[in-house]
Structure 1
Amino acid sequence: MFDSRHIKTFHEVVRTGSYTAAARALGYTQPAVTQQMKALERDVGSPLFVRVGRGMRLTEAGEALSRHATAILDSMSAAQEQMNALTRLRAGRVRLCAFPSANSTLVPETLARLTAEHPAIRVDLLENEPPESLRRLARGECDISLAFTYPGLHEDVPEELVEIPLLEDQLTVLLPGGHHLARRRVVRLTDLAGERWIAGCPRCRANLLHECAEAGFVPDIAFMTDDNLAVQSLVAEGLGVAMIPALVLNFMRHAKVAGRPLQPASRRKISAYVLKEHLRIPATALVLDELRTVAANKTGC
Structure 2
Amino acid sequence: MLVSRHLENFLALYEARSTHEAARRKGISQPALTSSLKLIERAAGGELFTRSARGLEPTEAGTALHRHALAIDQHARFASMDISTVQNRLGGRIRVGVGPVLAVSSFPDVVVRFHREFPDVAIDVESGISSQLVDRLGRDQLDLIVTARPTRPMSDAMIGLPLFRSEMVVVCREGHPLTAGLPVTPDALTDYSRVGFTEDLEFEEHSRSMSHWPSERLRPILQTSSISVMFGVLAATDHFAIVSHVLVPKARREGLVRLDLTEPLWQIEVEAFCKTSLSGSRPIKALQSILSDDPPLTFE
> In structure 2, do the counterparts of structure 1 residues 181 and 107 end up closer, same or farther at CA, with 3 Å as the change threshold?
same
Q: Counterparts in 2 of 1:56-95, with a 5 A limit?
A: 92-95=92-95
2:154 corresponds to: 157
Output one character per residue of 1:195-225: Cα deviation in whole Å (capped at 9) or x when no partner.
2222222125535763688424522532222
Cα deviations by residue, 1:169-197 (Å, 9 ceiling, x for unpaired): 12111223222321455433222122222
2:167–2:265 contact (8 Å) kept in structure 1 = yes
Corresponding residue for 1:128?
Answer: 128
- In structure 2, the partner of 1:21 is none
Alignment match, 2:119:
119
> Which residue of 1 is the match for residue 187 of structure 2?
190
Report the equivalent of 2:271: 271
Aligned counterparts of 2:290 and 2:175: Cα–Cα separation in 1: 40
Counterpart Cα distance in 2 of 1:110 and 1:290: 6
Structure-2 separation of matches of 1:188 and 1:155: 31
Once the two structures are TM-superposed, the CA of residue 166 in structure 1 deviates from its matched residue by: 0.9
Cα 1:257/1:286, change in 2 over 3 Å: closer
Give the corresponding residue for 1:172.
169
Residue of structure 2 in register with 1:206 after alignment: 204
CA distance in 2, matches of 1:140, 1:238: 41
Residues 205, 190 of structure 1: alpha-carbon distance in 2 compared, 3 angstrom cutoff: same
Q: Which residue of 2 aligns with 1:219?
A: 218
SS in 1 for 2:259: strand
User: Which of these two proteins has the greater Rg computed from alpha carbons?
Assistant: 1
Alpha-carbon distance in 1 for matches of 2:295, 2:125:
18
Do structure 1's residue 181 and structure 2's residue 207 form an aligned pair? Answer: no
Partner of 2:257: 258
Per-residue deviation, 1:120 = 0.8
Is 1:237 aligned to residue 268 of structure 2? no
- Give 1:116 shift: 1.8
TM-score (norm 1): 0.61
C-alpha contact (below 8 Å) 1:174/1:232 kept by paired residues: no
AA at the equivalent of 2:168: L
Using the aligned pairs only, state the percent identity. Answer: 15
Code of the aligned partner of 1:279: S
Other-structure match for 1:146 = 146
Summarize the Cα distance change of 1:220–1:202 in structure 2 as closer, same or farther, 3 Å threshold. closer
The structure-2 alpha-carbon separation of the partners of 1:183 and 1:160, relative to structure 1 and needing over 3 Å to count, comes to farther
- Size of the aligned set, in residue pairs, is 213
Partner Cα distance (1:156, 1:273) in 2? 12
What per-residue deviation string (whole Å, max 9, x for no partner) do you get for residues 226-285 of structure 1? 211211222222242221222122334354422225422322221111111112333333
Amino acid at match of 1:165: P
User: Counterpart of 1:246 in structure 2: which amino acid?
Assistant: H
Contact 1:160-1:275 at 8 Å conserved across structures: yes
- Which residue in 1 is equivalent to 2:248? 249
> CA–CA distance in 2 between the matches of 1:257 and 1:130?
25
Out of 229-238 and 253-262, give the one that drifted further. Answer: 253-262
Counterpart contact for 1:198–1:240, Cα < 8 Å: yes
Q: Name 2:70's counterpart in structure 1.
A: none
Gaps of 5+ in 1: 1-26, 28-82
Cα distance in structure 2, aligned partners of 1:195 and 1:211:
22
For the 8 Å contact 2:289–2:295, the answer to whether it is kept is: no
